[in-house]
């Protein structure tokens, strides 16, 4: 799934393209909302909360989640799309701009006062306006009380919103602990501080990196069988999750993460 920084960059792009304009075209190509029509409504704002994208349009909120393959793109009105039309799940157009959501895993439209049904379960977002020392400390306390492996706890959007598999693996490496280590036995506050710093830096970058070098983006994630960038030990890969169908790939350096 995409990380929170991807969602926030997407929201910024969509907000710049649509905010303040009136919709002349509105299509949701999903059965549950196929008949919805918000033509004539103004787009107030587009924002991200964790990995969730919210278009606030008139009295409604359009929610979408990119999951693995989803993508929003913007075009000059009437321009040819770069992706096949059958993959479009949402089309929003103003007089000048067309925003198309391709391969979106989730598309939901609710009255704006019911927006909390979509995102009310989420923990604080390090990229959100509500992130501060108090919310960070509270999130760190919840993480520190979690008996699950640190990697799994970091992915739980109810604790902290925005971290995906890349960040979970890289945070564990930078902290010097293996992904399988229980969060309550690791320095959870340090893990959260690392993660918040990384994601806040990367939201401003065109290419995500945890090493500081976009040519060598990551320390361990997706690098199994390759030498550790710090010590040269071969990176290992395993699977971790609450049940077999929800397992994720985990990566670690046997020397740097003892």
Q: Which of 9, 51, 56, 208 is catalytic?
A: 51
CA 171/CA 188 separation, integer angstroms:
10
178 noted as active-site residue: no
Is residue 160 within 8 A of residue 192, CB to CB? The reply is yes
Distance CA 238, CA 251 (A): 7
In a 3-state reduction of DSSP, which class is residue 107? strand
46 neighbors 19 (Cβ within 8 angstroms): yes
Give the active site residue among 2, 124, 126, 149: 2
Give the integer Cα–Cα distance in Å for 81 and 217: 30
What letters, b where the CB count within 10 A reaches 16 and e where it falls short, cover 40-60? Answer: eeebbebbbbbbbbbbbbeeb
Q: Point out the catalytic residue in the list 25, 87, 200, 248.
A: 248
- Asked whether 166 and 217 are in contact (CB, 8 A), the reply is no
Token pair for residue 53? 């994208």
Catalytic residue among 3, 27, 166, 170: 3
| Catalytic residue list contains 2 | yes
Question: Does residue 3 carry a catalytic annotation?
Answer: yes
Distance CA 170, CA 174 (A): 6
φ, ψ of residue 116 in degrees (nearest 5): -60, -20
For the annotated catalytic residues, the residue numbers are 2-3, 51, 248
């Amino acid at each position: 799934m995409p990380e929170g920084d991807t969602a926030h960059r997407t929201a910024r792009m969509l907000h710049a393209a649509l905010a303040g304009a009136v919709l002349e075209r509105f299509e949701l190509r999903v059965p549950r909302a196929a008949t919805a029509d918000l033509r004539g409504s103004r787009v107030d704002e587009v924002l991200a909360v964790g990995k969730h994208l919210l278009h606030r349009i008139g009295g409604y909120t359009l929610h979408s989640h990119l999951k693995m393959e989803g993508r929003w793109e913007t075009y000059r009105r009437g321009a040819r799309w770069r992706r096949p039309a059958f993959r479009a799940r949402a089309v929003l157009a103003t007089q000048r701009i067309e925003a198309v959501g391709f391969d979106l895993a989730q598309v939901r439209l609710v009255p704006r006062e019911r927006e909390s049904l979509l995102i009310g379960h989420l923990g604080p977002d390090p990229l959100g306006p509500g992130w501060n020392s108090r919310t960070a400390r509270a999130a760190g306390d919840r993480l520190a009380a979690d008996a699950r492996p640190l990697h799994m706890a970091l992915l739980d959007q109810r604790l902290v919103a925005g971290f995906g598999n890349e960040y979970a693996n890289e945070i564990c490496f930078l902290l010097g602990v293996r992904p399988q280590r229980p969060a309550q036995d690791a320095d959870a506050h340090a893990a959260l501080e690392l993660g918040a710093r990384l994601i806040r830096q990367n939201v401003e970058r065109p290419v995500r990196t945890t090493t500081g070098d976009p040519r060598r983006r990551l320390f361990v994630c997706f690098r199994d069988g390759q030498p550790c960038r710090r010590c040269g030990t071969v990176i290992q890969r395993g699977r971790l999750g609450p049940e077999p169908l929800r397992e994720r790939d985990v990566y670690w350096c046997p020397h740097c993460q003892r």
